[in-house]
Structure 1
Amino acid sequence: MEPQAALTLGQNALYMLLMIAAPVLATVLGVGLLVSLFQAITQIHEATLSFVPKLVAAIAVFAIAGPWMLTTMVEFIRSTILAIPSFAV
C-alpha cells in the first residue's frame, strides 16, 4: 500500500466518522445549551436535570437517524473492503 493511499483512506474514515457523529453531537450540544440556560435563569442546579434531557435527545436522534448512520457505515466499509485488492503491491 502506498503512503498516499493509506492517508486518503484514513482521511475518508475520519470524514465518515465526523459525518455520522455530527447529528448526535449537535443535538446534545443544543439541548445542553438550552438546559444550561434554563438552569441559569431559574437558579436550579440539579445534576440530573442536565443529564436526562441530553440522554433522551441522543436516544431520539439515534432512533430517527440510526438507519441512515448504519447504512452509511455499511456502504463505507463495503467500499473499503472491495478496494483492498487495489491496495496490494
Structure 2
Amino acid sequence: MTPEVVMDIFADALYLVILMLVVIVGPGLLVGLVVSMFQAATQINEQTLSFLPRLLVTLASVMIAGPWLLREFMDLFTRLYTNVPNLIG
C-alpha cells in the first residue's frame, strides 16, 4: 500500500465527514442565526428560545438527508471492502 493510496482513502473519508457535517449541522446553524437576529431585534434574551427550532431543523435534516448520507457512507465502505485485496497486494 503506497502513501498515495492511503492519502486517497483519507481524502475520500474526510470529504464524506465534511459532507455529513454540512448537511446535518448547516441548517441548524442558519436557523440559529435567524433566531438570534430575531432575539436581537426584539430584545428577547431567552436562551431556550433558539434551542427548539435548531433541534427541530437538525432532526428534519437528518430525516430528509439521512438515507442519502447512509448510502454515501455504505458506498465508501463497500469500495474499501472490495478493494482490500488490491490494497494489500
Consecutive unaligned residues in structure 2, runs of 5 or more: none
Task: Provide the residue aligned with 1:55 in structure 2.
Answer: 55
Instruction: State how far apart, in whole Å, the 1-side matches of 2:60 and 2:18 are.
Output: 19
Whole-angstrom CA distance in 1 between matches of 2:72 and 2:34: 30
Matched letter for residue 3 of structure 2: P
- Alignment map for 1:19-30 (pairs within 5 Å): 19-30=19-30
CA offset at residue 17 of structure 1?
Answer: 1.1
Q: Which residue of structure 2 aligns with residue 4 of structure 1?
A: 4
C-alpha RMSD of the superposition: 1.0
TM-score, reference length from structure 2: 0.93
One-letter amino acid matched to 1:66: G
Give unmatched runs, 5+ long, in structure 1.
none
For residue 86 of structure 1, what is the aligned residue in structure 2? 86
The structure 1 segments of at least 4 consecutive aligned residues displaced by more than 3 Å after TM superposition are none
Q: CA deviation at 1:62?
A: 0.7
Structure 1 residue 9, shift from structure 2 partner: 0.6
Residues in 2 aligned to 1:74 and 1:7: alpha-carbon distance in whole angstroms = 20
Give the whole-Å Cα distance in 1 for the aligned partners of 2:80 and 2:37. Answer: 44
| TM-score, normalised by the number of residues in structure 1 | 0.93
Aligned residues: 89
One-letter code of the match for 2:43?
Q
The Cα of 1:36 is off from its aligned counterpart by 0.5
The sequence identity of aligned pairs, in percent, is: 36
Displacement after TM superposition at 1:50 (Å): 1.4
